[in-house]
Amino acid sequence: RQAIAESWPDSLACSAARKEWDFAPRYDLETMTREMLDRIASKGGRAA
């Protein structure tokens, strides 16, 4: 599994998906991170 993960690129470009599928992500990195940490905290985890 580690070898598979290491073969992935460090970043992904979504320009083709935006063009071909009219894809529009709802989260940027900051929004995704805040949402994730808020959900962890609401479940009793120590995230923030």
CA distances from 37 to 1, 25, 41 (A): 26, 19, 6
pLDDT tens readout for residues 1-48: 999 989 988 777 888 899 999 999 899 999 999 999 999 999 886 655
Looking at residue 46, what is its pLDDT?
65
Name which of 21, 41, 24 is nearest 33 in CA terms: 41
Query: What pLDDT score does 30 carry?
Result: 95
Q: Tell me, what amino acid is at 41?
A: A
d(CA 26, CA 16): 17
Alpha helices by DSSP H, 1-48: 2-7, 15-21, 29-42
pTM score: 0.48
Q: What is the pLDDT of residue 14?
A: 86
